[in-house]
Structures are given as structure tokens and as C-alpha cells.
Amino acid sequence: MLTFSLAFASILMLHAGLKPGDNAVDFSLKNVDGTTVSLSDYSDQKGVIVVFTCNPCPFAKAYEQRIIQLHKKYAPEGYPVVAINPNDDQVSPEDTFDKMEARSLESGFPFPYLKDATQEVYQAYGATRTPHIYLLENKGGTFKVAYIGAIDDNAMDASAVSNRYLEDAINSLRAGNQPNPATTKAVGCTIKTRN
């Protein structure tokens, strides 16, 4: 009975995903340029902005330019963007690897755009939407989750944003503080899976 309970508890933890303060899960995923990119490749950075996103979702499209601008603004400060597409391309044909390559090229992504082909990474993180943000902080070589949630409070109109949650979280880290809030509700499309 105890063994069953422990096993059940570990399954629940697996599906619960990461919380602020947790160690980030490393990954090695194929980038649109054919290389493999790992979280550990960023060990010389202050942090990483992990964005679970995709091609066809209207919310992902609405945030695309903002994500590019975030990378351009914060990568020089030590917080680059790494975008991960978690969608099963059998369910979402717009998210095939070749269409990811085309999207990255058309939009001029200045950051990696990785395919979570096994869907293990988004599940380990606990992402549920596209886009879904995980701001990671490098604490002595170990990446810790500092903030999870939305980029800001207006998905469809960048000019009407009043709360820039992700930027505020990054600025908190740069000032030596923990983000407050550390979580917000991610708004976007559900992640497409066959399960």
C-alpha cells in the first residue's frame, strides 16, 4: 500500500509541473537550424526566458513581436529567450518541424525555436498554454524557476498593456529580488496532444 501511495504521489508531482523556487528541468531539443539546444548551454547567462509557443495559435501570433522585442532587450542583459513548440504535429499540422523552420525565418526569430517532439519537456514544466512563460534564474550554475505565467495583461493589444508581468519579474531579479507576483495565469491556446 505504501509503495502504491508513493508511486501515485510521484505521478501527481510529475503532472503538477514546476513551481517558483523549483530547479528547472534540463532539456536537449532540436532547433530549427538543425542543431540541438540544451538548457545547460546557457550556464554563462544570468537566466533564461523559456517560452512554450507554437505557430497557429492567435495568442502566440499576437505575442510574437513582443517575444522578439523581449529577447532583443534582455538577451544583452543576460536573459535570452528560448522558444519551445510543445504541440503534437499530428494533431496540429501547422506545427510540423518544416513549418516551424519557415515561421522562424519569416518572422526573423533571433532566438532558438525548439521542437518538443516527445512532449516530455512541456509536461515536466507543467505548461498548459501557448504562450506560457517560465523565467529561470541561474543560481550558481543551477537554474531555478523565478516566474511562471503570462507575458503581460493584454494578449491581443500590445498598446493597451498595463501590467508587464515578465518584464517586472526580470527587473526584480536584476535588482536582487524575487518576482512578485511569481505566478500569473497564462492566457492562450491549449497545448495539442494525442493523449
Structural domain boundaries of the chain?
Answer: 2-190
Q: Which pLDDT band holds residue 63 (cuts at 50, 70, 90)?
A: very high
Measured in whole angstroms, how far is the alpha carbon of residue 56 from the centre of its chain?
A: 17
The set of cell numbers assigned to 20 is: 517558483
Which residues have C-beta within 8 Å of that of residue 120, sequence separation ≥ 6? Answer: none
Specify the pLDDT at position 151: 98
Given a cut of 70, is residue 12 above it in pLDDT? no
Average pLDDT over residues 54-83: 98
pLDDT confidence bin for 7, thresholds 50/70/90: very low
Tell which CATH architecture fits domain 2-190. Answer: 3-Layer(aba) Sandwich (3.40)
Local confidence band at 4 (pLDDT 50, 70, 90 cut-offs): very low
Mean pLDDT of 59-76: 98
Residue 17 pLDDT class (50, 70, 90 cuts): very high
Q: How confident is the model at residue 194 (pLDDT cuts 50, 70, 90)?
A: confident
What does DSSP assign to residue 18? -
Residue 13: pLDDT band (50, 70, 90) is: very low
Has residue 10 got a pLDDT over 90?
no
Q: What is the pLDDT of residues 122-170, one digit of tens each?
A: 999 999 999 999 999 999 989 999 999 999 999 999 999 999 999 999 9
pTM of the model: 0.91
> Long-range CB contacts (< 8 A, 24+ apart) of 151-156?
151/63, 151/66, 151/67, 151/70, 152/66, 155/59, 155/62, 155/63, 155/187, 155/188, 156/58, 156/59, 156/62
The per-residue pLDDT of the chain, averaged, comes to 92
